[in-house]
Amino acid sequence: MKAEELVRLENIWVDYDSIPVLEAINLSVESNDFLGIIGPNGGGKTTLLKVILGLIKPNRGRVTVLGMPPERGRKHIGYISQFNLFDHDFPISVFEVVLMGRYKRSGLLPRYTEEDRKAATEALDTVEMLDYKDRQIGRLSGGEQQRVFIARALATDPKLLLLDEPTASIDTNMQAEFYELLDRLKENMAIVLVSHDVSAVSIYVSEIACLNHQLFYHGSKEVSAEELEKTYRCPVQLIAHGTVPHRVLREH
């Protein structure tokens, strides 16, 4: 299958109150990419995702999603926002949350079709959360909620999954499981995730980019210490354990 270009950013500049957040960003995401964007907090990671989604308009530059403006193309993106920003007491069940992902098909009509329910059920099955479908969303652990939000994104039948700091609210022992889930999903869709957690990301993703106002894109996982230092503006050390590369910050 030939790779298709899903997202294209050309010379993107964003500033808040004339303080630059993103500077001259160029990025292309193709349909078979599994890209990890790492960088320090405040480096513009969430802003970059919101630019792709058309939620933030860049001051300069051009964004296209599947060749369309982001407002039209973004319905093909499954977005998993930075976690824990929702109201945990909200009266909504897990199944209702996942059904939200069916909006593209079901529209605003009051009823869901059998097909909508089937798709939501399948999505919950994929993330192994089907047993919890009637649970109120706040009564799940952080890792379980994360899975439900991935199921909701999957129910949109996305070509690209965008994840903002996906491991922030997951216990360390759940993280491996989480990345294995992404590993299965990447067969069917492109995945872009942003994180400040350098070591965890680099084990699983296929390509790494570093973002600290500017984007340093490498096209592969082979990031040199100098490049990471440029991103973090502090010394960084690369350590390899056997075949699995780990990357650890030395002095901060």
The distance of closest approach from Cβ of residue 21 to other proteins in the complex, given in angstroms and rounded to an integer, is: 17
- Report the relative pairing of strands 5-16 and 60-65 from DSSP bridges: antiparallel
Residues 6 or more apart whose Cβ sits within 8 Å of residue 251: 234, 235
Q: How far is the CB of 55 from other proteins (least distance, A)?
A: 7
Please tell me the distance from the alpha carbon of residue 130 to that of residue 43, in angstroms, as a whole number: 37
| Least distance from other proteins to the Cβ atom of residue 108, Å | 5
Phi/psi for 126 (5° steps) reads -60, -40
Give the span between the Cα atoms of 46 and 24, in whole angstroms: 16
Pattern 74-103, binding to other proteins, x per CB under 8 A? Answer: xx-x-x-x----xx-xxxxx--xx--xx-x
Residue 222 burial (10 A CB sphere; 0-12, 13-18, 19+): exposed
- Residue whose CB is less far from other proteins, 74 or 213: 74
Show the site string, 144-183: x = touches other proteins by CB under 8 A, - = not: --------x---x---------------------------
Positions that interact with other proteins (CB under 8 A):
53-55, 74-75, 77, 79, 81, 86-87, 89-93, 96-97, 100-101, 103-104, 106, 108-110, 136, 152, 156
